[in-house]
Structure 1
Amino acid sequence: MPYDDRVRLGVQLQPQHAPYPAIRDAVLRLEDLGADLVFNWDHFFPLHGDRDGLHFEAWTMLGAWAEQTERIEFGTLVNCNSYRNADLQADMARTIDHISAKGGQAGRFVFGTGAGWFERDYDEYGYEFGTRGSRLNALGAALPRIEARWAKLNPAPTRRIPVLIGGKGEQKTLRLVAKHADIWHSFVAPDELAHKLEVLRRWCDEVGRDVSEITVSNELDRHGVDLDHADALYDAGVRLFTIGVDGPDYDLAPVRRWLAWRDERNG
């Protein structure tokens, strides 16, 4: 079975250009509205607007979200593998998983990860940028270590932590998705998805896995409600849809409209 076969809506609260109380408030508003997941991103500087504007670190924030929320799942879209030792990532994820477990229920953390790409982060924080290939190779080496560390930790995670991998590269990324992911996230257009899913199916066959076990995730239009685009993604197999919301005001009106569409799709 896939991670979840219902239509679900995730919202990426971009942790830039806003004081933290605005982010805290937006997370609570999203949970109250009924969003399924809330994400941040793993960068050290804003990606647009004032490049030296307000910005906060991702994983520290996730610990706060784990404590302040009760129902919503959450994670980073996506973690940059380069910034932290693989075993440390596993331990951080397990700890946040436990913090988020409330009322006898399992934790709600989703481990979204990728190879990294934002060169300024690397340069200013002293990480080796390398090449796209070397960063993907590092991600490929880290994922088995993360899984092995989860199996050793005491206490263990409260559940099998879902792994989301972002990207669309056919030779490396989709192979990693086939081997390790519960969710595949990309920006692939509806008319490209059939081909990408066929590549993913071939990689799944090679590693002895059924491609139907992997939930397909994609980005909705951030600048309006394009129902035809969303319907085309759904018809192509997407079940987790994400939208981005920028600070400082975090206007959630588009979220309400997409939640109505989600509920209609789920009957």
Structure 2
Amino acid sequence: MLLDTPVRLGVQIQPQHVQYSDIRDAVFRLEEMGVDILFNWDHFFPLYGDPDGEHFESWTMLAAWAEQTERVEFGALVNCNSYRGADLQADMARTIDHISKKGGDTGRFIFGTGSGWFQRDYDEYGYDFGTAGSRLNALATDLDRVVERWGKLNPAPTRKIPVMIGGKGEQKTLRIVARQADIWHSFVTPDELPHKLGVIENWAGTEGRDLSGLVVSNELKDRDESVADALYDAGTRLFTLGFSGPDWDYSLIERWLTWRDGKNA
């Protein structure tokens, strides 16, 4: 079922407790270091530290990254489906995709998305929080609309924009993964992965979809090389790492780039 791609390293720049100039500098340095993908997150307030500290919005930042960068892929880990209409999300993604196209290449945007969970975002910005089930139902419906809108836009996206979906719930989330995802992201342990992949494969049968191209993604934060090796052996090929400022620890990035390069040697 799994696509055996080279190992890639994605770094999630946490858009909190820093000035935007700090984020811009981090983007430049991480691309120069050879990171494969850059992510932010889609929230309106910090998730850690001072809850009222400095924080920046995801999509406008991603448009800036599209212009700033030359090689690296990028996106949100992950977008919240609840905050913007499905067709608007599709149009924003298509536009950022085109902004990121340099020369004769295709765009580099990854549409990472999820159903949302951080209630303060909803309450303070006036969105209906609903339930976990209602938000997942909306995600499933809206993803169909996103893909449909991509087929109508003029100009069309420069490529089939990869869809990345995060989560591990077996009744709804993994069915959405089986239906729409090119990349599945989770925090599950190596021991859990075979079962979860089996669930995805079963749902793919129900949805009538070939998942031979699915890329499995997982998180490295607070994990060591032994866990990363086990995740790799279980099929993971995209590894993400949360990265916080203002005291960016680039030695950590170097460590994981070295591990990545060893796997790809």
Tell me by how many angstroms 1:6 deviates. 0.9
Q: Give structure 2 stretches of 5+ with no counterpart.
A: none
The CA distance in 2 between the partners of 1:3 and 1:96, in whole Å, is 26
Aligned positions of 1:93-104 closer than 5 A: 93-104=93-104
Q: Match of 1:211, SS? A: coil
2:231 alignment partner AA: L
- Aligned equivalents of 2:130 and 2:245: distance in 1? 31
Provide the C-alpha distance between the structure 2 equivalents of 1:253 and 1:240, rounded to a whole number of angstroms.
20
Alpha-carbon distance, 1:231 to partner: 0.3
Q: Hey, what does 2:224 align to over in structure 1?
A: 226
Deviation at 1:205, TM superposition (A): 1.4
Partner of 1:76: 76
- CA RMSD for the aligned pairs? 1.2
Note if 1:143 corresponds to 2:134: no
Aligned to 2:249: 251
Distance in 2 between the 1:212 and 1:243 partners?
25
Per-residue CA deviation, residues 17-47 of structure 1 (Å, 9 max, x unaligned), is 0000000000011100000000000000000
Calculate percent identity across the aligned residue pairs.
71
Measure, in 2, the Cα distance between the counterparts of 1:184 and 1:52: 31
CA distance in 2, matches of 1:4, 1:85: 34
Letter in 1 for 2:148: A
Q: Distance in 2 between matches of 1:28 and 1:203?
A: 40
Aligned length: 265
The equivalent residue for 1:62 is: 62
User: In the alignment, which residue of structure 1 is the partner of 2:233?
Assistant: 235
Partners of 2:250 and 2:97 in 1: CA distance: 26
What residue number does 1:263 align with?
261
The answer (yes or no) to whether the contact 1:245–1:252 under 8 Å persists in 2 is no
TM-score with structure 1 setting the length: 0.97
Q: What secondary structure sits across from 1:230 in the alignment? A: helix
Residues 49-72 of structure 1 show CA distances to partners (whole Å, capped at 9, x for unaligned) of 001000000000000000000000
Q: How far off is 1:4 after superposition? A: 6.9
Q: Secondary structure at the match of 1:113?
A: strand
C-alpha distance in structure 2 between counterparts of 1:65 and 1:2, whole Å = 30
The residue correspondences of 1:1-267 to structure 2 (distance < 5 A) are 5-220=5-220, 222-223=221-222, 226-267=224-265
Amino acid at match of 1:248: P
What is the alpha-carbon distance in structure 1 between the residues aligned to residue 253 and residue 109 of structure 2? 21
Superposed structure 1 runs of 4+ greater than 3 Å apart:
1-4
Contact conserved, 2:170 with 2:199, CA < 8 A, in 1? yes
**Distance in 1 separating the partners of 2:239 and 2:83:** 27
How far did residue 208 of structure 1 move?
A: 1.9
Give the counterpart letter for 2:71 in structure 1: R
* Distance apart, 1:249 and its partner CA: 2.4
Separation in 2, partners of 1:3, 1:21 = 37
Contact (CA 8 Å) 2:168, 2:174: kept in 1 or not? yes
Q: Secondary structure at the match of 2:128?
A: coil
The alignment's TM-score, normalised by the length of structure 2, stands at 0.98
Moved more, 250-259 or 39-48: 250-259
What's the secondary structure of 1:198's corresponding residue? helix
1: CA distance between counterparts of 2:207 and 2:58? Answer: 32
Distance in 2 between residues matched to 1:4 and 1:53, nearest whole Å: 41
Instruction: Please report how far the alpha carbon of residue 159 of structure 1 lies from its aligned counterpart in structure 2 after TM superposition.
Output: 0.3
Unaligned runs of at least 5 residues, structure 1: none
1:34 to 1:3, Cα distance in 2 relative to 1, 3 A: farther
Which whole-Å CA distance do the structure 2 matches of 1:157 and 1:212 have between them?
23
CA-CA distance at 1:9 after TM superposition: 0.3
